[in-house]
Structure 1
Amino acid sequence: MIRGFRSFLIDFSLVIVIGLAVYVLSFGDSFSTVFQLPNSVLHMNTIFLSILIEALPFVLIGVLIAGIIQIFVTEDHIKRWIPKNTFLAIIMSCFVGALFPACECGIVPIVRRLLAKGVPIHAGIGFLLTGPLINPLVILSTYMAFGNDFKIAASRMILGFFIAILISIIISVLFKSNQLKHTLEIPHIHTSSHASQSIFSKLGHTVTHAVDEFFDMGKYLIVGALLAAFVQTYVSSEALLELGSGQVSSTAVMMGLAYLLSLCSEADAFIAASFSNVFPTTAILGFLIYGPMTDLKNTMMMLSVFKTKFVLLFVLIVTVVVFSVLTLLDGFY
């Protein structure tokens, strides 16, 4: 079932209002002249637009895949595909995620649908972590960003995979239920009464659910992008960089920078490469591994899907595990 018409109108109106505001700030020269907007506001708006333009294609792909899962994947399929053994389920989900080209925004609606279909929380988190972090596009962009040097790309892939498994195991111990904020209403289109539906009818249902998912996720993406743009504009990165004078503190600073900047994982390596002459390799890896696992806009989207307590503990676990592993490996690099 689609959400109520009233809810749809609220979401659609929100997107329209924000879109108009963006248009006025970007192209309304007379508006800017009359109200004399500070340059920082215009700069924030430019960053906001760039984040949205960068993330929207992946969100659209994500909601389309979520619609396909909703219509074509049954609970029986999930039971057959996912191993019952917790560790094997985590390994499988991490491998599948590693092959899946998605960013940290586009992966959220996919994981929500998988969890609603019966995928255990530990497997869903494995997929959520590795998808944006070590998919083929990310590894290729990392390889190119660091001057065709495979060391950083390989370290990101291997360490990221190991850390994702470790975090998923911790999640499996702490949480047993799917931790979704709301129970999604799953239409039983695969029962015998619907078995005769044509492929075109199912594709229509897929698009319908994808649109519904987009408006569910879109408003939180907008809010997250706006917060990330505000931080990038008004929080001095130079002040943060000054804090990272030591080996340990530099890793913490780069992780914090990755969270606040909320860069797309397909492009973050080029920003990280610009810091390679300033910070040690472990700090650079902290930026490359931590950012795709959790950032500001991703947290906003997760808060719309998962229970608040789970999201806060998830961010804490990711932070502690990534920082601890990189600190232990500091001497190796």
Structure 2
Amino acid sequence: MNAPTRTAGPTPGGVPAPPRKGYRPGSLEIFGLVLVVAIVFRGPLATLLDRPAMQTWSTVFVAVVVQATPFLVLGVVVSGAIAAFVPARVFRRLMPEREALAVPVAGLCGVALPGCECGSVPIANRLMERGVPASAALAFLLSAPAVNPIVLVATAIAFPTEPGMVWARLIAGLLTAMVVGWIWQRIGRPDWMRPRPRFAEQESTGGWRVFLSTMLGDFAQAAGFLVVGAAAAAAFNVLARRWMDEHIASSIVLSILLMAALAFILALCSEADAFVAAAFSSIPVVGKLVFLTVGPAVDVKLVAMQAGTFGRRFTVRFAPLTFVVAIVIGTGVGLLFWGGRL
């Protein structure tokens, strides 16, 4: 016989409180557990790390993390400041009345206003609540994490020998946001999204509290994805380098498909993904651009966040559309820039 579910007592207003959720370890607890395991097994770990393959892996891993972390910190600080101190009505005043013109304006706002993928989803939701057309809000959602100044500077540093990568990423990111926005303007239906209040003017209070909570939350989430992405990039360089050189690097189609799939699965923060892409040294530069175009637009964490914010009916239509458009535009822009080198 199952034990009854424990529920909390009634609230002061007489309404029963929701059942208490079970304990879930946070990032600090998991980090502490990893440190304890590393200390306990330091002998076998030291022997393992003495191997040449592991030394190469650790070198690539540490290099990616160290290069990317300053940009990640700067990105979440700016994103938290926007979420806390810039009212959503400011964006609405910038939007033209014609929806077709509002889409590119929203995309250009993403260039000027830095934000990570995690922060762009709630911002887009607030914009739609205040009357901004869905197509324009979605264009901002896609452009803000892809082509903002922090991301472009990080890309320039990650690709010092490929200065064209910055311009290629800017063009591909903007085009992806605008094309998806224009397509959604034509095919999107209101009943595909969760109902939301219109023109709600109430803004959140407690700016500094919102700033700190947003910044810390975004950093904790994005840093975890950065570590996973850096580990995967290092593992690919050690374990699959020869296989990639023989089977993937020689095929532009396979490299594009592989990098698009990795961008979706790894779910990196856009402030750090350029350093991970640069670590795939055997992949053609067009494949790396596809990685940088797909990643900020659609990945596993964004699909989950969009389903929770806008509803499942929206996500099953918007995510595949964005994925296909990002691959096509990333490939097209890459061939325009580097087609002569294939």
TM-score if structure 1 supplies the norm length?
0.69
Shift in CA distance, 119/318, structure 1 to aligned 2, threshold 3 Å: same
Are 1:324 and 2:328 an aligned pair?
yes
Quick check: 2:75–2:271 contact (8 Å CA) kept in 1? no
- Which of these residues, 87, 90, 99, is aligned with residue 112 of structure 2? 99
**Map 1:47-126 → 2, pairs under 5 A:** 58=75, 61-62=78-79, 64-69=81-86, 72-74=87-89, 80-126=93-139
In 1, distance between residues paired with 2:34 and 2:208? Answer: 32
1:100 maps to a residue whose letter is L
Between 1:260-269 and 1:226-235, the stretch displaced more is 226-235
Q: What SS does the aligned partner of 1:106 have? A: helix
Residue 246 of structure 1 and its aligned partner are, at CA, apart by 1.8
Change in Cα spacing, 1:302 to 1:53, as seen in structure 2 (3 Å) is farther
Specify whether residues 97 and 152 from structure 1 end up closer, same or farther in structure 2 by C-alpha distance, changes over 3 A only.
Answer: same
Contact map agreement 1:8 1:215 (CA 8 A) in 2: no
- CA shift at 1:213, angstroms? 7.0
The one-letter code matched in structure 2 to 1:134 is V
For 2:257, which of 252, 260, 271 is the aligned residue? 252
User: Does 2:43 match 1:26?
Assistant: no
Relative to the length of structure 2, the TM-score reads 0.68
Partner of 1:269: 274
Counterpart AA for 1:121? A
Tell me the distance in 1 between the aligned counterparts of 2:210 and 2:175: 34
Q: Which amino acid aligns with 1:294?
A: V
- 1:105 match: secondary structure: helix
The corresponding residue for 1:128 is 141
Residues 329 and 132 (structure 1), Cα distance of their counterparts in 2 relative to 1, 3 Å cut: closer
Q: What percentage of residue pairs aligned between the two structures are identical?
A: 24
What root-mean-square deviation, in Å, do the aligned CA atoms of Structure 1 and Structure 2 show?
4.5
Count how many residue pairs are aligned between Structure 1 and Structure 2: 301
Preserved contact between residue 272 and residue 287 of structure 1 (Cα < 8 Å): yes
- Partner deviation per Cα, 1:1-47 (whole Å, 9 max, x = no partner): xxx99679859x64x545323322333567779xx9xx9xxx9xx99
User: Does the 8 Å CA contact 2:233/2:276 hold for their aligned counterparts?
Assistant: no
Unaligned residue ranges in structure 1 (runs of 5+): 191-201
Superposed CA offset, 1:206-236 (max 9, x none): 4566688789989987997899799889997
Residue 195 of structure 1 corresponds to none
Following superposition of structure 1 onto structure 2, how do residues 274-285 of structure 1 map, counting pairs within 5 Å?
Answer: 274-276=279-281, 278-285=282-289
- Judged with a 3 Å threshold, the aligned counterparts in structure 2 of structure 1 residues 315 and 23 are, in CA distance, closer, same or farther, namely same
Q: 1:211 to 1:141 in 2, by over 3 A?
A: closer
Deviation string for 1:171-195 (max 9, x for gaps)?
A: 11222439654747997558xxxxx
Report the AA paired with residue 89 of structure 1: A
Partner Cα separation in structure 2 for residue 185 and residue 216 of structure 1: 28
For residue 164 of structure 1, the aligned residue among 154, 158, 177 is 177
Evaluate the alpha carbon distance shift between residue 244 and residue 318 of structure 1 in structure 2; reply closer, same or farther with a 3 A threshold: farther
